[in-house]
Chain A
Amino acid sequence: MIDFTAMILTVGPELWLVAIALIGVLVGATLKDRFNSVSIKFGALALFAAAAFSLMNYEGGEAFNGLVRTNTFVNFAKFVSYVLAGFALLTSEGFLKRHGTIRYEYSLLILLASFGMGMILSAADLMTLYMGVETLSLSSYVLAAFHRDSAKASEAGLKYFVLGALASGMLLYGASLVYGFSGSTEYAVIAAADPSIGMMFGMVLMIVGLAFKVSAAPMHIWTPDVYEGAPTPVVAFFASAPKMASMVVFANVMFTMFGDVIDQWQLIICIIAGLSMIVGSLGALTQTNIKRLLGYSSIANMGYALVAVAAGPELGAGPLLVFLTLYVIASLGLFMGVLAMRRKGGMVEGINELGGLMRKRPVLAIALSILIFSMAGLPPFGGFFGKWEVLSAGVEAGLMPVVIILVLASVVSLGYYLRLIKIMWFDEPTERFEAVDGPVTITVLLAALIAGILFLFFISALSGWAGTAALGLAG
């Protein structure tokens, strides 16, 4: 019979989100345009509630005949992803209103994408994984092209769709090979199966598909274009919540399904990580569009995260959570910063237009500087500790070459991070900025506060939580 308690314990937040989304469809169909503005707050509230929900059932469980299984490792990721998705949704209202594209479907799509995130995190079966990936990706494609009258947004949506479909195909093909050679789609059975050549072949294809979803090189080509073309609030969402979720899923798949054959995939992940770091840090050097620049920076950061994945479940799981949490907070904050800068006739997107921000909007400039320093991994700020954890995990696992690349890439990436700081603090002011709406500024300040000061109070606690969360993986 259907065990409702187990269902709530395991995928409670997801069931809640999908129920809210379905109610949203009905309410939207009745209220039409009157629902637009309300739906955003409503959706954000639902996401925060889902985050609370995932903390309430932190230990997780198993339901639907083993199709989903959660533990502390994924519930930690769920919590962070839902909170960030909630902030990304809450702050999008002003931007959409100004562009005249505010429609309640936006919040529905964010809710459904978050549902997909939750499902891939909860998946304990290849079929659940694939269905969740598709829910997340399809919603993302539509969100990327949400400004359908803008040529760039349409291009971003189309590019994302075509390449994403290819990656989904790879993932599916890999999954079918793994299924064919192991005889089951369940993670646990696959982990226990005899690792044959065919299964390894499937594993590599699955790595390719998942690497695309987290935008790691050489499957990163779509990232800068999509980040540049898609509406900024959508990019803020892409760069935070799904990044966290996809990366943790990547780790979860490698750790639980292929945990015993780590010697087969460690080198592959190392190469992907190294390439991502090199491509990300060198590619960003020449960018003049701030969204593109942040796109490349996210590729590099995914490379750092993959070092933690390559370090294996015992060493890497905890640092991965710490690093990702601090990274996605800074990433969301930076995109909120982009969202907060508006001049006459449009958004500020070229990095030279940031000139003299310090003199015009000192608070924003200081907040952004803290976030940039945190992302660059300079010592007094949050990002440093995340990077440090990853670094030490890599060293302990004996992955020296990739650790050296990590350090070098960090130094190179300082080049463009410091250029942003220099333009903000020392260049001549260009144009007057216009006032922006409250939630965006608050989010920037909040993220800066967390990355700059508050993390000091909870960094040891965070490492502790992440450490215990990672234990859930083993159990």
Chain B
Amino acid sequence: MAVIAFYLIAAVVLVSALSVIMARNPVHSVLWLILAFFSSAGLLVLIGAEFLAMLLVVVYVGAVAVLFLFVVMMLDVDFVELKRGTLRYWPFAVLVGIIFAAEIVLASVIGTADMETNFDASPGAETNAEAIGQVMYTQYLLLFQMAGIILLVAMVGAIVLTLRHRPETKRQNIAKQTSRRRSDAYELKDPTPGQGI
């Protein structure tokens, strides 16, 4: 049973990964990508790495959903064309939905009980999360820090390549705002009637 579940989910991973690069519409590609991530999470559940599975869903599916938004915003996608197709594609959408649901059911029903794996998903600990926690900041401290450095490089890079200081843009100057006195803002005039200021 677990073997069947494995082959089923693995097939979905392969098909959806292939579709990511085959799909003509970038939005469809992203959707296929989400399915691929989701199915991979299912595979992780099958081998008993439930923490990693949830992480995959939270980080990748969550982040990809944001990416999806960016794609929609930045690319020149013809929405009229897209909407016209919506109705036509509903069987496809339902199919994807059914696959999603089936995977969740399969993975949660079968669990890890009779899955034969050649390694222990939670070595030396009760749960998957505990096993990761035991080594992440001790044995793999260096790698953890290096990941931080890589993110720093990415941040510096993004700033170098995109940040531009424009002199004409108006910026908020809080010091100037708070040091403003009532006398700077207005003054009282006493105009003679009929003459104005």
Which chain A residues in 125-154 approach chain B with CB under 8 Å? 127-128, 131-132, 134-135, 138-139, 141-142, 145-146, 148
Contact A109 B153 (CB under 8 A): yes
Complex interface residues of chain A between 92 and 110 (CB less than 8 A to chain B): 103, 105, 108-109
Which of A105, A128, A183 contacts B143 (CB under 8 A)? A128
Tell me, in angstroms, the Cα distance from A142 to B119 when the chains sit together.
40
Q: Are A65 and B153 in contact (CB under 8 A)?
A: no
Known: A18-B149, A112-B149, A115-B149. A138 touches B157 (CB 8 A): yes
143-166 of chain B: CB within 8 A of chain A = 143, 146-147, 149-150, 152-154, 156-157, 159-162
CB of A148 within 8 A of CB of B156, answer no
Q: How far is the CA of A97 from the CA of B154 in the complex (A)?
A: 24
Chain B residues with Cβ below 8 Å from A200 are: none
> Judging by beta carbons under 8 Å apart, are B142 and A138 in contact?
no
A25-B156 CB under 8 A given contacts A132-B146, A135-B150: yes
Complex interface: chain B residues within 8 A of A119 (CB): 146
Residues A109 and B156 in contact, CB atoms below 8 Å apart: yes
A134 nearest in chain B by CB position: B150
Contact B159 A131 (CB under 8 A): no
Residues of B at the A interface (CB closer than 8 Å) are 119, 139-143, 146-147, 149-150, 152-154, 156-157, 159-162
Check if A112 sits within 8 Å of B160, measured CB to CB. Answer: no
Kindly list chain B residues whose C-beta atoms are within 8 Å of the C-beta of A25: 152, 156
A148 to B159, CA, bound (A): 11
CB distance from B181 to the nearest CB of A (A): 30
Distance from A8 Cβ to chain B, minimum over Cβ atoms (Å): 14
Seed contacts A105-B160, A131-B146, A146-B160; 18 additional CB < 8 Å A-B pairs:
A64-B142, A65-B139, A67-B140, A67-B142, A105-B159, A108-B156, A109-B153, A109-B156, A109-B157, A112-B149, A127-B143, A128-B142, A128-B146, A138-B150, A138-B153, A142-B156, A148-B160, A148-B162
A108 neighbours in B (Cβ, 8 Å): 156
Instruction: Give how many A-B residue pairs fall within 8 Å (CB-CB).
Output: 61
Minimum distance in angstroms from B2 CB to a CB of chain A: 19
Task: Enumerate the 3 nearest inter-chain pairs by beta-carbon distance, A residue then B residue, closest first.
Answer: A142-B157, A64-B142, A131-B146
Find the B residue at minimum CB distance from A142: B157
Q: How large is the interface on A (under 10, 10 to 19, 20 to 34, 35 or more residues)?
A: 20 to 34
A341 at the interface (CB under 8 A from B): no
- For A131, list chain B residues within 8 Å (CB): 143, 146-147, 150
Measured CB to CB, the closest approach of chain A to B96, in angstroms, equals 26
A167: interface (CB < 8 Å)? no
Q: What CA separation (Å) do A68 and B143 show in the bound complex? A: 10
In the complex, what residues of A have CB within 8 A of residue B146's CB? 119, 128, 131-132, 135
Residue from A18, A25, A127, A131 having most chain B Cβ neighbours under 10 A: A131
Q: Can you spell out 14 A-B residue pairs with CB atoms less than 8 angstroms apart?
A: A67-B143, A109-B156, A109-B160, A112-B152, A128-B143, A135-B149, A135-B153, A138-B150, A138-B154, A141-B157, A142-B156, A142-B157, A146-B160, A157-B161
